[in-house]
Structure 1
Amino acid sequence: MNATPGTAPHDPHDPLHDVVIVGAGPAGLAAALMLGRTHRDVVVLDSGVYRNDPADAMHNVLGFDGAKPSEFRAAAHQTLAAYDSVELRRATAHEVAPLDAARPADGFVVRTDTGDVAARRLLLATGVRDELPDTPGLDALFGTVAAHCPYCHGHEFSGTPVAILGAGPHAPHVAGLIERTASRVVVLADGADVDPELAAALAARGVAVRPEKVLRLEPVTLPGGHPGARAVLDGTAPEELGGVMVAPTLHQSAPFAAQLGLELRASGCVAVDATARTSLPGVLAAGDLAHTADFPMPVSSVIAAMAAGQLAAASIGADLLAH
């Protein structure tokens, strides 16, 4: 544990819900549906801020491939409205603590901008925040022309040149995933030295490496009307691109893991076991803020988050029956 969580007194006149879910992305919403179907008393706290806000469309979700993320959430909200025991509350949580630090499994209270919510079990589904490289112009392109996952966005770059920003160890893997859709692949080293073995691995795939510093990325329209980007390079001709793949640094989007003293993995994500349980009894975590030991990294996809939320809900149901 990183810290000892404090105690938050609970007014006995306030309701003690079965479950409070902090976060209303795919993981939190899927967990709420699972719990609602067994008539558990559930409150879902929705801040209105989501990791995929920059994305113009979501992919790899059957029935919603190419849909706006807001359309998916609207459909999920309509589904949950059929379950009377599930409350979707627009509120921003800012603090979480056990009702009794000596007996955390007795319940938790979540402080929000609309009041406190107490529950016997807590599910964290607040996700992570993407910290992008500081390349000028990248922020404005992220979620459309710039993306971090070839599975989620690579198809949309079909038939155009695609750049990988940064010559890190991820570059050959990303190049291998994107080469079937891109007309060509180039790595923008952004002025950094390139490891010789990495350069050889890229050359074996026919991937060129541009060593120059990337001064900025500019939005452009490619022939045929395809949206794209121009990578302006220091002292040489720019690259005209249909897509830019980036590798963001992940951070917890909320402070609750630190407040509760939860164990983290090297990825910075909350350590969970195969049943979504964290290092603190009574607290579960699902979605891309959580990381099991069986995977080298947290899985960032809508479907994986939904599956994790459903698994966490089943674990919560078992816990509540046992206690």
Structure 2
Amino acid sequence: MTKSKVLISGASVAGPALAYYLQRDRYDVTVVERAAVPRASGYAVDFRGAALDVLAEMGILAAIREHETAMHGTVLLDETGSEIGQLPAEAFAGELEVPKQVLTRILHEITSADVEYVFGDSISALTEHESGVTVEFERGLAREFDLVFGADGVYSKVRQLVFGPHDEMVCHLGLSGAGFTSDNYLGLDHSGLLQSAGNTAIYLFSAADRDRLTVSLSFATDSPELDRRDRDEQERAVRAAFAGNGWQTTHLLDAMTAADDFYFSSSCQVSLDRWSRGRVALIGDAGYCAAPTSGAGTSQALIGARTLARALADADGDYTTAFATYERELRPYVAENQSNGRAAAALFGGQGSTDGVDGQ
């Protein structure tokens, strides 16, 4: 019997997790990833609730736990840097937290023997026909697949090609920010500090590497337009937003300019009426990003992968029935996470709400 051939776009978390389940269920799986090698970016990801069951089912929970950050909690500060409260570790670290590169490395390791990975390439066109999908690539030759899955993040190329422009589905939460690491000059030990002042917030923590301090400088914005600007313009925007702030701000802004791991992103959610169209379906942030402020992105990716794979298995390959089951079962969970993400955005200087986003 010929195996169904599936293509997954994206090799971060949702993509390899789905690949694991589909190859186990005897699909012929290919994963295409724009990056030249498995991604080693990102500072920490956390797992909550049923996501831990997914890790256990995949046989990697013990290996993941070996790298736990073991955060103790976060101290809340006022504008002067004086303590005004505390948040428990699970507020940011969930039930289990590890450096993101640990998760992506392990997911790649457990799938690479049975899954074809194509790095350094990306989908450029998708044409569905009666018996499958013709996929064109930026570099490689066109190929035929039975099903295509977009696991390629908030600005998913698969979603753009099949569902429409980003601005119709990506909703800004009124929050943008810079992230980087510096020397741990404050001596934090598996702990964090969070200071909110007006429409800005500073979040600092040290965990896996006690010599390094992870820094997040977030502030209110009207759109995610800065994501598309160069670093110099992004830094100028950060400095303008934090001008006049006291406490550690001057030192942190100087550390930002010196950092070699600077990144900038905006908190957004993805809202679609449906997560599939024909033989193409979306998973993880590509279909239903709840924003980093939800603390649920990684858990959604893992639970979504298992839910989708189970739906396909139960439907015996009837993708139309499977995709409908996948959406019906997962939407309530996603809606709750998106609501939490909007509410938490205000804590970091954002608006805390957007028009037209309801998880539906």
What is the aligned partner in structure 1 of residue 212 from structure 2? none
CA deviations over 1:237-265 (Å, ceiling 9, x no partner): 62326999x99243xxxxxxxxxxxxxxx
2:27 paired with 1:40? yes
Does residue 78 of structure 1 match 2:109?
yes
Are the counterparts in 2 of residues 98 and 109 from structure 1 also a CA contact under 8 Å? yes
SS in 2 for 1:31: helix
Q: Does 1:123 align with 2:152?
A: no
Contact 1:23 1:124 in 2 (8 A): yes
1:163 and 1:108 map into 2 onto residues whose CA distance is 50
Once residues 302 and 189 of structure 1 are traced to their aligned partners in structure 2, the CA distance between those partners, rounded to angstroms, is 23
Residue pair 1:215, 1:233 contacting (<8 A) in 2 also: no
Which one-letter code corresponds to 2:266 in the other structure? P
Q: State how 1:1-323 maps to structure 2 within 5 Å.
A: 18-48=5-35, 54-60=41-47, 63=65, 64-66=67-69, 67-83=98-114, 86-100=115-129, 103=130, 106-112=131-137, 113-128=139-154, 139=178, 142=179, 144=181, 158=192, 160=193, 162-164=194-196, 167=199, 232-234=242-244, 238-240=246-248, 248-250=266-268, 267-272=269-274, 277-278=275-276, 280-291=277-288, 300-318=296-314, 321-322=317-318
Rounded to whole Å, the distance in 1 between the matches of 2:104 and 2:252 is: 27
Indicate if the aligned counterparts of 1:122 and 1:283 stay in contact, CA closer than 8 A: yes
TM-score scaled by structure 1?
A: 0.51
Letter in 2 for 1:248: S
Tell me the number of residue pairs that the alignment of Structure 1 and Structure 2 aligns.
Answer: 216
Q: 1:281 to 1:215 in 2, by over 3 A?
A: closer
CA distance in structure 2 between the aligned counterparts of 1:96 and 1:290, rounded to whole angstroms: 18
Report if the CA contact (8 A) 2:4-2:28 is conserved. Answer: yes
Give the Cα separation in 2 of the matches to 1:126 and 1:165.
34
What amino acid sits opposite 1:233 in the alignment? Answer: A
> Secondary structure of 1:118's partner?
strand
Q: Once the two structures are aligned, what percentage of the paired residues are identical?
A: 15
Greater helix content: 2
Report the CA distance shift for 1:238/1:28 in structure 2 as closer, same or farther (over 3 A): same
**Alpha-carbon shift at residue 166 of structure 1 (Å):** 6.0
Rounded to whole Å, the distance in 1 between the matches of 2:313 and 2:294 is 24
In 1, the alpha carbon distance for the partners of 2:314 and 2:29 equals 15
Letter paired with 1:65: E
* Aligned AA (1:107): G
Q: 1:157 to 1:24 in 2, by over 3 A?
A: same
- TM-score after normalising by structure 2: 0.46
| Counterpart residue number, 1:204 | none
Q: What is the identity, as a one-letter code, of the residue corresponding to 1:240?
A: Q
Residues 166, 190 of structure 1: 8 Å contact kept: no
**8 Å contact from structure 1 (residues 120, 282) kept in 2:** yes
Distance in 1 separating the partners of 2:265 and 2:119:
31
State the alpha-carbon separation in 1 of the partners of residues 221 and 123 from structure 2.
Answer: 40
